[in-house]
Amino acid sequence: MADDKKTIGLTDANKATMQRVVELAAFKLDMDAAKFAFALAVNRNCEPTQIEGAGTIWNVGSFDEGGDIKALIQNLFPNVDTPYRALESLMNAGFSILASEIKSNPSVRIEELLKQETGTR
């Protein structure tokens, strides 16, 4: 079994996107924006991959205090043996998606993406 991460983070490009998303959506914490990015990636059927160039931002004990995200990843991706590496990958994928959405529509509202993703109108 491979060693899982104890700290997780984002690439430089995704850090910049996270800051933009925090401003756009008025997330209280950047960690909340990262959890949203993770959920968006899962919703868009992204698969965990190897991520290169991600710096460290959060300790996994702080990010996933009760282990709920780890359990979710283990259920969604049963073949993944390093759930925090998967989380880091999916957060980065989610921020890449968000960067594309913001680029194509600079006035995009995050809540509209949520409605779009859940089918709520």
The string of pLDDT tens digits covering residues 71-113 is 999 999 999 999 999 999 999 999 999 999 999 988 888 777 7
Residue 2 maps to a domain:
no
Q: Is the pLDDT of residue 118 over 60?
A: no
Q: Rounded distance, CA 25 to CA 79, Å?
A: 33
Residue 18 maps to a domain:
yes
pTM: 0.89
Residue 102 maps to a domain:
yes
Question: Whole domain around residue 25: which residue ranges?
Answer: 7-118
Cβ neighbors of 54 (< 8 A, separation 6 or more) are 8, 9, 10, 11, 14, 88, 92
Q: Give me the number of domains the chain comprises.
A: 1
Q: How confident is the model at residue 120 (pLDDT cuts 50, 70, 90)?
A: very low
Residue 41 maps to a domain:
yes
Q: pLDDT of 12-41, one tens digit each?
A: 999 999 999 998 888 999 999 999 999 999
Which of 22-26, 56-60, 109-113, 116-120 holds the top average pLDDT?
56-60
